[in-house]
Structures are given as C-alpha cells and as structure tokens.
Amino acid sequence: MFIPQSVDISAQALTAGHFVLELRFRAPSEFAKEEEQRVGYKKAETDDTLMGGHERMYLRKAQYHWGWDWGPALASTGPYLPIYLEVYQARINNLKILPSVNESLDKATVQISAHIEGHSGRFVLVEIANPEGGVALRKIFPVNVVGAFEQAVELESPELWWPHTHGKQPLYQVKVELFNTVQSLHSITTALGLRRLRLQQTSLNSVPGTSFTFVINNVPIFASGSNWIPGDFFLPRFTHPQDEPTESNYRRWLSLAKSGNQNTIRVWGGGIVETTDFYNLCDELGLLVWQDLLFACGNYPANDEFCASVKQETITQISRVVHHPSLVLICGDNEDMWLAGLYGWDYNPEDKKVENWMRGNFQHRRTLEIVLPEALKEVGIENTGIEYWTSSPFSGEGVEANSRIKGDVHIWDVWHGPMYPYQSYLPLMGRFVSEFGFESPPSMRTITSMLPSPSTRQSQSLEFLAHDKGPGAERRATMYMGENFRFRMDPLEDYVYCAQLLQAEAVSFAVRNWRRNFKGPGEELCSGALVWQLNDNWPAISWAIVDYYLRPKPAFFTLKRALAHFDIGLARNTTKRNIPILRSYPEEQALLSIWGVSNSHEYTTVRITLAAFDIATGASVALDTPHITGTLKPNRSTEFGEVNIPAAATTVVAAYLHDRNGETLLARFVSWPEPLKFVRFSGDPAVTVKVKNGEDRVVVTTRAPVKGLVLEAGEEGDWTDNCVDVVPGEELVVGVKRLGDKDVKGSWLCDWEGRRGVEAVRE
Ligand code: BMA
C-alpha cells in the first residue's frame, strides 16, 4: 500500500487501440493470515493488542483497516491514490529537496537532487522565487553522466517560516527544469518554507529529566494540537471525494484545527504517511506535523524480506514529504516500545546484538532501531533538523518507554487504565504529552443520521453502543459522570450534553494546566499537549473532539480557549484536608492561584479583573484583590499570585485579562467549586441570548452563574466559541458565521432541574 508501482507500457502505446489496465488483489486478511503462517514468527502470548486480528502485522497496509477502538474493521482493497498515464521523453524523477537554515538564521542551504530519466536531458535550471514572487536565485547545472543531478544552493537572509501561533508562513517556489541543449523537456515546481528546526532535550533547572521541545527559528514552541487518524474508513472517499466540494476535506479539517488555536498535528502510525495535499496545507496554514511511521500497537515480524520492504516504503514516503517546513519529527511507530515494556517482551535495551533480538519475541526492535534509521539516513534527514524518534511514547531510558520526565508520554491512566480522576492530569503531566483523551458522543444531528430509527436513539441501546468501540467505554463514561455531575442517561439529548461537557472539562483542564508549566528557558516542564484525537473515520462515540461530519464538539472550543494566543488560568488550591472518615466531603479549596500565558515574543502589559458571585443567587461576593496589573512574559506562562475565595464552596470566580488600556479583552476564565455535582445552581438563572438582525454574533447575559452554556443555531451553527460559562454583570459576545435567520437555542448544566434552556430573541 505504501510503495508506488509503475509499469512501462511504451511498447503497447506505440500501437493504436484500446487498452485495459487490470489490477489484481487478494483478500487482504486472508493473504495476511497466510503470510503469518509462512513467516512463522513466534511471538509472546501477549502480542494481541485488541486492535484487529494480529495477521494485520504481516501485511504492509494501513493498520486501521483491521478496525480500531474508534473505527470499524473494513479491510478495503484497491488503489487508494489516483493512477496516471505518464508520457515523456526525458523527465526529472525522485526529486528530493533538503533545506536547512544556519544558527544565525541568515543563510539557508537547499540541497536538490533527482534522477534524470531518458537520454536527452543535458542540464537543469534551478529557479527559486521568493515569497513575493521575485527571483531569489537562478542557476544552471549539468546532468552528470549517470543521469543524476545533485546540487546545493544557498539563499542569503531567508524569510523564515513559522507555525501560525508564532509568525508568518512565507513560501518560496522552487522550479527545477530539465533541458536538452535548447528545449525544455520537463519541469517541477514545489513550494518551500525555510525554517531552522531543533528538538531540544536538555536538563531542566528545578525538576528531574529533560525537556522535549521543538525549537523553531531558535524559539521554543509549546506544541498544542491533536492526533490525526485517517479521514475515512474508505480512504479515497476522503482524499478524492466523488462530489469534490470547493474546499478539499483536508482543507476543511486542517483549517478548523488552526481556528482552534492548534499548531501541531500528530499523524498516527496506524494510518498512512499523509498525502501531499495534507502537507501542502500544513505548510500554508502554519501547522507542525509529527509523522509516525506505519506501525501501531503490535509486535511486528522483522524477517529480511519484511525489513527490505519497510526500508523501501520509508525511503519513498519520507523523500516525498521531507522538504515540508511543517514536518518536524519522524517517529518509528505508535506504542510498540511501550507495549514491549508493559508485556515483558524480550527487550533488553543494553543488548545491542541483532542476532539476539531475532531469537527473541520482540523482533520489531530491528525495524525501529536499525531499518528505519538506515532508511532515513538514505533520505538524508541529518542536516534538516528533523529527528527520528524511535516510538511514541519513548524515553530512551531502559524499558520504561512511557516516562513522565523524558521524551514523550501517553497519558491513559485517565479514561483507560485505573480511571484516575481527570483532575489528576496535572500530577500525571509529562515533558511532552503526545496522547491523552476522553470519549464523548457526537452531536445529536450526527446521532440522528447514524441511528435512523428513533427507537434506537438511547444512551443504552445496543445500536448506540455499537458505535462506541472503546474498551469498557460505558463503565468509564458513567463512572466519570457520576463522579462529577448530577447527570442524566435519558433523554439522549441530556446524556449527550453531559458526556460532551465532561470531555470538554477534562481536556481543557489538562491543557490549561500543562501550558502553565511551559515556563521559559530551563523551565519547560511540559512543551506539548496533543489531544487524542481530532477526527473520526465514521460517525462514532470516540475520543474525537470534532465528529465525522466536521461538527466540533464542546471540547473543541474549551481547548481553543486554553490554547489561545493569550490565556488566563485559575486553580483552586486545597486549604483544608478532610479526615478520611468524611470521604464524600470535598476538601476546602479557598485559595485561588492566577496565571497567564502568552505566545507573543514580546512582554505584554495586562490588567486582570476578578469578579465573584454566589452561584445559587447570583449576588456579588467581595474579593480582597479584584484588580491586578502585571506583565505577561514572552512565549511562556507568568504567575500572578493568589487570592482568597470567600465561601469557596458556593462561589464562582470569573477572571478577565485585558490589554494595558483595559480596552481589549484578551481572555477570560471562570473557576467553579468542584466536583460540580455538589453545586446548587439557580433554578432560573434568567439567561438571555440576543441576536441582532444582520449580525454574525449573539450577546449573552445571565442573572445567576451558568456552567457550560452550549449554543445551537438551527440545523448547523458555525460558532467561533461555545460551551461558555457565564456570570452576572457581563455581556458575553459569541461569534457565529452565516447565522441568517436561524433560531438560536442554549442549554447548560442541570438546566433540567429548573427552567430548561433559553431561546434567543431577535432585535
Ligand atoms: C492510544 C492510541 C490508539 C488508540 C487510543 C485510544 O493509545 O495510540 O491506538 O486508539 O489510544 O484508546
């Protein structure tokens, strides 16, 4: 599936007529089972890791086709990319571009190489246009005697490419054109971004271990974003839809991720090395890409034939994408090193003898430690700054791949595993969290189309649960809900509301608190948070924060706020612990710490205003320090001290971060006593939502505080924000595109206990 094939048909093409290209495929699962028998690799008993049949590991094909814990098992067959007929006399083949930028950022070197096919090509013209279209470089090079072309060119004072959270995305155009003596024979033009890239792993001032920070153009970046799975269980339906819309599916999804303030996408290894369309868009939109190689959750064979094929696929796939400025890391696989440690496969990191590995039950190590690095060396990544990272998660430290102090970490002790409370995402933090997540159902609209029969639309129907493939999902969802909310399983609307709010709270709690730990040079305690997962490949109840039909769940918006250019955070600290016998009583948390974060490269003077209210009545509660003036440090978090919360168990505190003049609201956040199940809300908070005709926004007010106001506009709302907490005394403006004359409705946590929801009034 990962190695393109071509067939020379020049002999047939010389005769006129009609030709048929016939491709023959064998049923993939059946073939893979035969391969498994043939290869005869003796694995440990514990090699079957729930995801699909283990024969999948013997066939180089997207592993999710065997089904995953978020998608159906449909081992599709057939070509998944377009088939071309190419006609040429001479052409440039295997063009590879390897850019790099020096430490002082004033010079870029671009290595260009290609094979020249056909005999007539004599020289190559390399033209580089700068981002404004002017000529940056124009040079002619001869084709050498063996038909190869390899040259390095230099550009002075390059215009640097940045992730969108930190700067612009200038793109050069590189044109490579092949000539005989006078005539142009073939040309290829490619966009090229220039940036300096380093993966920083250095010791930290105050804590053990090392950082794991992408440094772009000498600036450390907090990598904020999500994990990407293949866009559909039938891939061509996503990559080449029949009714091609004006915007490609990739553009719609990646633009949405960018609009959610995400700057990093991890392409998970159970899918594909993403398409050229995907990478071009990430370059254009300023998204960083972590690309896994194509292995996930398993113990793969590593016989010579298999390794040779893997090497070839890696060279082909990575040569195709290596020049993209968005590509920042190539990772060997998803979770296989972690599993080796967890299941006790024959893995002794000290033992460097391949013969020994091949006698044991973890042969895949040969691929990860030898085959893939060799392939990437052949591609030539060593001067590009793109690192090879053995596995995800990985620490490089003994058998414990999933370390909190080194490398990247997958945090699954929340939701999976022992189901720790989501509030413990903070102590579970690692240096770079490449996976963590929380399940929720999609929107009611999506549920209505995925369950056409109304009688099946219940949170406990088999049909509903059949769309949730997560192990133990039902127990996990209801356990977390019981712990946090006075939730409802029925009607389905309320269940969906509760489950979505829970996901929204959990993932934004994690990211807001981890980003607080990106504290500047030597203090990068956490430099990345990638939520599992951005997308779905069918209508599912899954960890996705946006559903299959591109409808963002509330979590998309709570994350968007936690990842904004500027954010303000509040955390309640325990002031009195309970004696163990008072098990059900929450601890007293009467001290509020306040911090801000900024992506700006400059210092930013800000004003912080705090306002507190009694939750049940909406009456104002006086605070000792309602105003703070301070300065946000550049590109990191800044602490603003602590204040007391009077009657903390019944008081909500809202914080507003304004610019130095107090005119522009940069961020806001509302802190609630937890767990929310003990909170007494007003039975009638008198929420109003006003829509001004012709305006793409609504204005929300309330008399008593409300938690998690989710707005809906008719059939489909295109909201700039949602799932907001609202307190008295503010007019909260929420943008919504293409509102037209749609009706707007809102619901909030526990509105079913009193006056239900709100309908907007038009003015
Ligand atoms: C991870 C991933 C996926 C999986 C997800 C949710 O560990 O790497 O394999 O879908 O968890 O269980």
Superfamily of domain 566-678 in CATH is Immunoglobulins (2.60.40.10)
> For atom 6 of ligand 1, which residue has the closest CA?
69
Q: Which of 297, 402, 440 to mutate to test the pocket of ligand 1 (most atoms within 8 A of CB)?
A: 297
β-sheet bridge partners, residue 592: 572, 643
How far does the centroid of ligand 1 lie from the alpha carbon of residue 41, in Å?
25
- Measured in Å, residue 73 CA sits from the centre of ligand 1 at 15
- Asked whether the bond before 533 is cis by omega within 30 degrees of 0, the reply is yes
Distance CA 710, CA 707 (A): 9
Q: What is the CATH number of domain 688-762?
A: 2.60.40.10
**Is 435 among the residues known to form the active site?**
no
What are the distances in angstroms from CA 327 to CA 95, 278, 563?
17, 11, 21
From the candidates 36, 284, 313, 335, give the one annotated as an active-site residue.
335
Single-letter residue type at 32: A
- CA-CA distance, 366 to 42, in Å (whole number)? 15
Query: Closest ligand 1 atom, CA of 69?
Result: 10
* Bridge partners for 150 per DSSP: 113
Q: Name every protein residue with a CB atom under 6 angstroms from any ligand 1 atom.
A: 68-70, 296-297, 334-335, 410, 412, 435, 532, 543
Decide: 476 and 437 in contact? Cβ < 8 Å: no
Identify the architecture of domain 91-192 in CATH. Sandwich (2.60)
Atom of ligand 1 nearest to the CA of 296: 9
Rounded Cα distance, 670 and 706, in Å: 10
Q: Are 296 and 41 within 8 A, CB to CB?
A: no
Pocket test for ligand 1, best of 65, 69, 267, 338 (most atoms within 8 A of CB): 69
- Nearest residue by C-alpha to atom 8 in ligand 1: 334
Closest atom of ligand 1 to CA, residue 416: 12
Predicted local distance difference test score (pLDDT) of residue 45: 65
CB 222 within 8 A of CB 515: yes
- Which H/E stretch holds residue 470? none
Element at 446 (helix H, strand E): helix 444-450
Please indicate whether the domains covering 223-441+506-562 and 566-678 agree at the CATH topology level.
no
Angle between helices 473-484 and 492-515 (to 10 degrees): 80
* CA distance linking residue 648 with residue 413, whole number of Å: 29
Dihedrals φ, ψ of 731, to 5°? -115, 105
**How far apart are the CA of 543 and the centre of ligand 1, in A?**
9
Look at residue 51 in the predicted model and tell me its pLDDT: 76
What is the DSSP code string of 344-386? T-S--TT---HHHHHHTT-THHHIIIIIHHHHHHHHTGGGTSP
Q: Which residues of 300-337 are buried (b: 16+ CB within 10 A; e: fewer)?
A: bbbeeebbeebbebbbbbbbbbbbbbbbbbbbbbbbbb
Distance (Å) from CA 545 to ligand 1 centroid: 14
Residue 518 CB neighbours (<10 A): 24
- The span from the CA of 558 to the CA of 556, in Å, is 6
CA of 542 relative to ligand 1 center, distance in Å: 11
Query: Ligand 1 pocket: which of 294, 435, 469 to mutate (most atoms <8 Å of CB)?
Result: 435
> How far apart, in whole angstroms, are the C-alpha atoms of residue 265 and residue 288?
6
In the chain, where are the structural domains located?
Answer: 10-66, 91-192, 223-441+506-562, 566-678, 688-762
Using the atom order of ligand 1, give the atom closest to the CA of residue 335. Answer: 8
Which tokens go with 2? 């990962």
Distance between Cα 270 and ligand 1 center (Å) = 10
- Which ligand 1 atom is at minimum distance from the Cα of 51? 9
For ligand 1, atom 10, which residue shows the shortest CA distance?
69
DSSP 166-223: TS----EEEEEEEESSSSEEEEEEEEE-B--EEEE--B-SSSSSB--EEEETTEEE-E
Q: Number of helices (H) and strands (E), helices first, in the chain? A: 15, 35
CB 36: neighbour CB atoms within 10 A?
19
How far away, in angstroms, is 563 Cα from ligand 1 center?
23
Q: Kindly tell me the burial class for residue 145, based on how many C-beta atoms sit within 10 Å of its own C-beta (0-12, 13-18, 19 or more).
A: exposed
- Which residue owns the Cα nearest ligand 1 atom 4? 69
- What pLDDT score does 717 carry? 66
In the chain (763 residues long), the average pLDDT of successive 10-residue segments reads: 91 78 92 94 66 88 95 90 89 94 98 90 92 95 85 97 98 96 93 98 97 98 98 93 80 97 98 97 98 95 97 97 98 95 92 95 96 98 96 92 97 97 96 98 96 97 96 95 95 97 98 98 98 98 97 97 98 92 90 98 98 98 96 98 97 97 96 97 96 90 98 83 97 92 94 94 90
Closest ligand 1 atom to 392 CA: 8
- Compute the distance from residue 277 Cα to the ligand 1 centre, in Å: 25
- Residue 266 β-bridge partners: 227, 290
- 68's tokens: 């995953």
Q: What ligand 1 atom has the least distance to the C-alpha of 334?
A: 8
Distance CA(546)–CA(534), nearest Å, equals 6
User: Rounded distance, CA 716 to CA 551, Å?
Assistant: 8
Give the closest residue (by CA) to ligand 1 atom 9. Answer: 297
Ligand 1, atom 1, lies closest to the CA of: 435
Distance 439 CA to ligand 1 centre (A): 11
Contact of 128 with 173, CB cutoff 8 Å:
yes
Distance, CA of 262 to CA of 323 (rounded, Å): 22
- Test site for ligand 1: of 49, 50, 295, 335, most ligand atoms within 8 A of the Cβ: 335
Q: From 1.20.120.80, 3.20.20.80, 3.50.50.60, 3.30.497.10, which CATH number describes the 223-441+506-562 domain?
A: 3.20.20.80
Q: Smallest Cα–Cα separation from 113: which of 131, 126, 128?
A: 126
65 phi/psi in degrees, rounded to 5: -65, -20
Distance 226 CA to ligand 1 centre (A): 13
Query: For residue 532, how far is its CA from the centre of ligand 1 (angstroms)?
Result: 7
Nearest in space to 121 (alpha carbons), one of 185, 174, 176, 175: 185
- Return d(Cα 626, Cα 608) in angstroms, integer: 8
Ligand 1 centroid – CA 51 distance (Å)? 9
Counting every residue, how long is the chain?
A: 763
- Using the structure block, give the residue that is written with the tokens 């440094």: 215
Which atom of ligand 1 is least distant from the CA of 471? Answer: 12
Mutate to test the pocket of ligand 1, among 433, 532, 534, 535 (most ligand atoms within 8 A of CB): 532
Q: Could you tell me the distance, in angstroms and rounded to a whole number, from the CA of residue 516 to the centre of ligand 1? A: 26
Give the C-alpha separation, 469 to 373, whole Å: 34
Q: What is the DSSP letter of 683?
A: S
**Cβ atoms of 170 and 158 closer than 8 Å:** no
Using the mean position of ligand 1's atoms as its centre, give its distance from the Cα of residue 268 in Å. Answer: 9
Torsion angle defined by CA atoms of residues 220, 222, 226 and 230, in that order, rounded to the nearest 10 degrees: 0
**C-alpha to C-alpha distance for 314 and 319, rounded to whole angstroms:** 8
pLDDT at site 313: 98
CB atoms within 10 A of CB 105: 15
Q: Which atom of ligand 1 is nearest to the CA of 543?
A: 6
Question: What does the radius of gyration of the chain's CA atoms come to, in whole angstroms?
Answer: 28
| Candidate from 334, 402, 537 with most ligand 1 atoms within 8 A of CB, to mutate | 334
Index of the ligand 1 atom closest to the CA of residue 297? 9
User: Could you identify the atom of ligand 1 that is nearest to the CA of residue 437?
Assistant: 6
Closest residue by CA, ligand 1 atom 12 = 69
